Amino acid sequence: DVKVTQSSRYLVKRTGEKVFLECVQDMDHENMFWYRQDPGLGLRLIYFSYDVKMKEKGDIPEGYSVSREKKERFSLILESASTNQTSMYLCASSNKLGPVTDTQYFGPGTRLTVL
Amino acid sequence: LAKTTQPISMDSYEGQEVNITCSHNNIATNDYITWYQQFPSQGPRFIIQGYKTKVTNEVASLFIPADRKSSTLSLPRVSLSDTAVYYCLVGDIVAAGNKLTFGGGTRVLVKP
């Protein structure tokens, strides 16, 4: 089974802190994603990466950056956390399946609270 | 970029069929339609995927009309454990410049 793990289930940080959210997948997937999930807004894509060191902005990249130095690891960075970044953060990975849209496997999520 | 629209919520009863429609008026030629299910405190998981006409697996069916501007997820004979949020996703393979867009999700409540 594909396993996507996230470094923390719950995290509490203060405004202005630098925050690192780590995601690791064990299935040698090329693609990795970071989403945030808020009530009533569904899943919104922050950044994605389709190869090591490659990254692309999603729909809401402002206030975030990412790093993908190794294939299995994709990090989400909040340079200076703000209260409006309090949310559930979900990481996902997928394999390239040619013409078929890649099925995404999600981690359990990190609930981040910024005080 | 194909935007998707789904009903916010729907209620059903055990043993009934549940149909959830997702609108994606500007779907592109290369886009596929994928549905995910999410239980509380878990990440979404894949249910079914299709390009056109009808797809069926052991969990659900997916109906896609010829114009592909909408799709309907059908859950046959639901049980209490099917209470979840269902997301529609439209997109092409993941590559440079290709973003995937989830809908807002439909919260399905199955009652006894």
Query: What pLDDT, on a 0 to 100 scale, did the predictor assign at position B28?
Result: 86
Q: What is the mean pLDDT of residues B32-54?
A: 91
**What is the pLDDT, as a whole number, of residue A41?**
83
Asked if residue B1 belongs to a domain, the reply is no
B30 in a structural domain: yes
pLDDT at B9 over 80: yes
Q: Which of A39-43, A54-58, B18-22, B51-55 has the highest mean pLDDT?
A: B18-22
Specify the CATH number for the domain of residue B61. 2.60.40.10
pLDDT bracket for residue B1 (50, 70, 90): low
Report the distance separating Cα A28 and Cα A105, nearest Å: 12
* CATH numeric code, A4-97+105-114: 2.60.40.10
Flag residues of chain A having pLDDT under 50: 99
The DSSP secondary structure of B79-109, one letter per residue, reads -GGG-EEEEEEEE--SBTTB--EE---EEEE
Of B34, B94, B105, the CB nearest to A42: B105
Q: Give the start-to-end residue ranges of the domains of chain A.
A: 4-97+105-114
Does the structure show a pLDDT above 70 at B32? yes
Q: Is residue B72 part of a domain?
A: yes
Average pLDDT over residues B26-30: 86
Tell me how far apart the alpha carbons of residues A23 and A113 are, in angstroms, rounded to a whole number: 18
Terminal Cα-to-Cα distance of chain B (whole angstroms):
39
Closest CA to A43 of B88, B49, B108, B7: B88
Nearest to A25 by CA among A99, A108, A97, A101: A108
CB A49 within 8 Å of CB A74: yes
CB nearest to A101's CB, from B34, B41, B99: B34
| The total number of structural domains that make up chain B | 1
Q: Which of B46, B100, B101 should one mutate to test binding to chain A, selecting the residue with the greatest count of A CBs within 10 A?
A: B100
pLDDT digits (tens, 9 = 90+) for B83-105: 999 999 888 766 656 677 787 89
Compare all CA atoms of chain A with the CA of B32 and give the residue at the minimum distance. Answer: A101
